[in-house]
Amino acid sequence: MRVAEVYINQINRNIDYSFDYYIPDFLEPMEIGLRVVIPFGVKNSKIDGLVIGIKESSEHKRLKNIEGVIEDYPKLNDWQIKMCYWLQKSYHCLFMEAVNCFVPSNLHIKKKKENGRNTYYMANALQELKYYKLSGKYCNREDYLAQIKSNATKQREILSCLEEIPVSFKELKEKTTCTTANLNVLIKKGLITESKEINIRNPYKDREYQYPANTLNRHQQEAFDLFNSYEKPSTFLLHGVTGSGKTEVYLRYIEETIKRGKSCIYLVPEISLTSQIIGRIMGRFKENIGIIHSHLSDGEKIDQWNAIKNKTVRIVLGARSAVFAPMDDLGLIILDEEHENTFKSNNRPRYNTHEVAKKLQDIHGCHIVLGSATPSVSSYYEALYGHVNLLELPERVKSIPMPEIHIIDMKEELYAGNKTVISRKLHNGILQNLKRGEQTILFLNKRGYSTFVFCRNCGYAVNCPNCEISMTYHHNIKQMACHYCGHKEHVPTICPKCNSDKIKYTGSGTQKLEMQLRKYYPQARILRMDTDSMQRKGAYEETIDLFQKGKADILLGTQMVTKGFDFKNVTLVGVILADSTLNIPDYKASERTFQLITQVAGRAGRGDKLGEVIVQTYEPDHYAITLSQAYDYKGFYDQEISYRKMMKYPPFSDIIYIGFTNEDEVEVSRDCLKYYDKLYKLVQEEEGEELLREMYRPTASPIKKINKKYRWYFIIKTNYILQYNSILNKLSKEKEIIELQSTLIIDINPNNIL
Ligand code: ADP
Ligand code: ZN
Ligand code: ZN
């Protein structure tokens, strides 16, 4: 018998390698990439695994046999398996975690007997709907009923209600409360027939969308022509100001790619997925679209997968995980709003979608299009000096001018006696907009009510008991909540430390802002959009719909309101406190602030009326603020890139984050130091001084504890990512490291290191 190398479907560091199994003859021809059921462990429990190799013999003795192949399970192709190895090596995940990117992960494997043998299938694959009708054996219902005993009431009931047109089981059940057993008896008697139809579960299929093509303007046409002139697989950066018509250009690229017989992946940051883009892309391409995101049910996911595999779907729209869609003939990957940090995964595999796309480009020879009004500094650097082609849309469609941005120094507001969070200019703007019936968007980067509760007498601050971080007061539940672990508790009326009753609330979140707005502008219709108010399913779409239809005057919210919206009647945008993103201890803080201001400003003046933007801040002279005021992306880029170069931050290096968490404060530091020392020695032996200098000493994390777990970390700022990755991979296989009690996190270029 031949031998298969099988990875066990378990997320477990101790078995992150393949096991050998015999392939019984009845399962030949076995293929690499198939999903199989195998006996595993001392108890020989049946679990599933993935065949990643086939060979004539094994060096191991007493192999067990594979039990069966799981029917209908999407087989992994060679390129997908190659990608799994690459993900494992590059992002330090387990092989099976990489595999789970490429296949729906909840299998619900079921067993059935066939010719005396166990066979396996997935219970949630292919949802079959059953339909029933009268068999046509008799001409009228009386003759049918005559075949049934008078006391078989259920059967008589079914026959009375069936026609010669098929009725679904669901419908029949509602009318008669019948069971499958009742129906089977009738089928056996030849009185009724059953038919099956496969139901493709797609939550969007019943919606009607329209988005006719626009005639391209000059800049759009140039961008389109340049794209078309490239035969070889290339990467493009489409830098277009907000409202310049980037979406129209993407849709043309897609159209062109489909014409050439290839398929497309269109990636967007998660949050805008449910908003206008679905309407536009479905309006243009109808049922040719598959939609993949984390809120799909397992069944829906499998159906989308099958539709892609059998080519009913040629375009996949989705958040970052859709980059793993099983398209064998990929021609184009689009990353819309490419600068967004949601393109980096914060869970294993901690991949960067940009890098995955590049890997897919190597495999399929597809084009990549990155698009943004505020490209990430790294992408723009690539476009200037690397292998990325820059395409520019410098003007808004129909040449509507960019809205004017005013900077308000909030210190001066205070001197002038204005103690509210709304400056006089913003106040007047809101009043004017209310009078004119135009809409306003207000952006504040903090949710909750008060972000800091403390004792004025002794300075005691109310921190979360599980995390070393202050709690936020939420007015709707009249409690404080921790934004890291979700812990809630009542606000103390007396300070637990000094018994004073001088408990003070400071810092405003979106909830407080909403209440203030309701007080100042009682006539205004106000909507709030943040993770607290968007919990309910459908809340997000409802809010957008209300605002779109002009049923609200003010939309206020967190980052959710900054992205992608195209509302024609919004003429005023206010940034309540620009500093909140500026003061985060992260090398990307300035970039993030520049992007947020520019993006949210881009929501104003998209119709025929001119827009206006008011940015409130305590740091009016910061370059991220002054340069966003001037819409000077290149000026900002120049400043930022020289800072990055000086500090050796990306794109001039890669940052490797190595963190440990543990409920035991002593153990976590010990494990972190131990790992550091082992790594240090390995690097010294294998690479030498230059790489050693790139390692920074371990220390407690800026947030020392999250969810009861203490945290330590160190970073490596490196120009030798490949060398480091291979050393880290080697280290992870060492027994001593596997046996460390603390949880190890390796994150390449993480979104933050807090
Ligand atoms: P961006 O994504 O760059 O912010 P959009 O793609 O949302 O811009 O385009 C802004 C608006 O202009 C949309 O309402 C879109 O339908 C419209 N539009 C885009 N291209 C054209 C065109 N060539 N002619 C007319 N209208 C256009
Ligand atoms: Zn006190
Ligand atoms: Zn907490």
Residue 731's CB is within 10 A of a number of other CB atoms, namely 20
pLDDT digits (tens, 9 = 90+) for 110-155: 888 888 888 888 776 656 678 888 888 888 888 888 888 888 888 8
Ligand nearest to the CA of 501: 2
Phi, psi of 95 (to 5 degrees): -55, -45
Q: What is the mean pLDDT of residues 56-82?
A: 93
Choose the weakest-confidence range: 40-54, 75-89, 577-591: 577-591
* Count of helices and strands (H, E) across the chain: 24, 32
Residue 562, pLDDT score: 84
Residue 444's CB is within 10 A of a number of other CB atoms, namely 24
Residue 625, pLDDT score: 96
pLDDT digits (tens, 9 = 90+) for 616-651: 999 999 999 999 999 999 999 999 999 999 999 999
Residue 128, pLDDT score: 67
Residue 723, pLDDT score: 97
Which residues keep their CB under 5 angstroms from ion ligand 3?
464, 466-467, 482, 484-485, 487
3-state secondary structure 488-512: EECCCCCCCCCCCCCEEEEEECHHH
Residue 623's CB is within 10 A of a number of other CB atoms, namely 17
Q: How far is the CA of 453 from the centre of ligand 2 (A)?
A: 11
pLDDT digits (tens, 9 = 90+) for 525-579: 999 999 888 888 778 888 988 999 999 999 999 988 887 788 999 999 999 999 8
727 falls in which pLDDT band (50, 70, 90)?
very high
CA distance 688 to 231: 43
Q: How far is the CA of 492 from the centre of ligand 2 (A)?
A: 11
Of the candidates 342, 323, 358, 293, the residue with the CA atom closest to the CA atom of residue 564: 342
Residue 127, pLDDT score: 60
109 falls in which pLDDT band (50, 70, 90)?
confident
Q: How far is the CA of 243 from the centre of ligand 1 (A)?
A: 6
pLDDT digits (tens, 9 = 90+) for 477-513: 889 998 888 899 998 899 989 999 998 888 889 999 9
Amino acid 136 reads G
Of the candidates 242, 339, 276, the residue with the CA atom closest to the CA atom of residue 602: 242
Phi, psi of 268 (to 5 degrees): -130, 160
Ligand nearest to the CA of 459: 2
Mean pLDDT, the chain, rounded, equals 90
Residues 6+ apart with CB under 8 A from 534: 540, 543, 560
Higher pLDDT pick, 655 / 541: 655
Residue 45, pLDDT score: 92
Both structure tokens of 139: 């001409």
Q: How far is the CA of 469 from the centre of ligand 3 (A)?
A: 7
User: Is residue 298 over pLDDT 80?
Assistant: no
pLDDT digits (tens, 9 = 90+) for 10-41: 998 889 999 999 999 999 999 999 999 999 99
- In three-state secondary structure terms, 554 is strand
Q: Are 571 and 441 in contact (CB under 8 A)?
A: no
pLDDT digits (tens, 9 = 90+) for 365-395: 999 999 999 999 999 999 999 889 999 999 9
Residue 288, pLDDT score: 80
Q: In what order do the strands lie in the sheet with 2-8?
A: 19-23, 2-8, 45-55, 35-40, 68-71, 117-122, 109-114
- In three-state secondary structure terms, 471 is coil
Whole-structure pTM value: 0.87
Residue 125, pLDDT score: 60
Place of tokens 């990307």: 588
pLDDT digits (tens, 9 = 90+) for 240-263: 998 899 999 999 999 999 999 999
User: Is residue 316 over pLDDT 90?
Assistant: yes
Residue 385's CB is within 10 A of a number of other CB atoms, namely 9
Per-residue burial over 15-47, b = 16 or more CB atoms within 10 Å of its CB, e = otherwise: bbebbbbebeeebeebebbbbbbbebeeeeeeb
Amino acid 358 reads K
Choose the weakest-confidence range: 67-81, 187-201, 646-660: 187-201
Q: How far is the CA of 442 from the centre of ligand 3 (A)?
A: 28
User: Is residue 730 over pLDDT 80?
Assistant: yes
Residue 201, pLDDT score: 57
User: Is residue 271 over pLDDT 60?
Assistant: no
Residue 262's CB is within 10 A of a number of other CB atoms, namely 18
Q: Which atom of ligand 1 is nearest to the CA of 397?
A: 12
User: Is residue 303 over pLDDT 90?
Assistant: no
Residue 486, pLDDT score: 87
Classify 631 in phi/psi space as left (phi over 0), alpha (psi -120 to 50) or beta. left
Residue 549, pLDDT score: 94
Residue 340, pLDDT score: 93
User: Is residue 666 over pLDDT 80?
Assistant: yes
Both structure tokens of 213: 């093509």
CA distance 298 to 283: 26
CA distance 79 to 274: 31
From 392, 566, 568, mutation site for ligand 1 pocket: most ligand atoms within 8 A of C-beta = 566
Residue 199, pLDDT score: 61
Residue 153, pLDDT score: 84
Higher pLDDT pick, 99 / 449: 99
Residues in the ligand 1 pocket, defined by CB under 6 Å:
214-217, 220, 240, 242-248, 397, 566
Q: Are 161 and 172 in contact (CB under 8 A)?
A: yes
Q: What is the mean pLDDT of residues 577-598?
A: 89
pLDDT digits (tens, 9 = 90+) for 178-229: 888 888 888 998 899 888 766 655 556 656 777 888 899 999 999 999 999 9
pLDDT digits (tens, 9 = 90+) for 191-202: 998 887 666 555
Report, in angstroms and rounded to the nearest whole number, the Rg of the chain calculated over CA atoms: 30
The protein residue whose alpha carbon is closest to atom 2 in ligand 1 is: 246
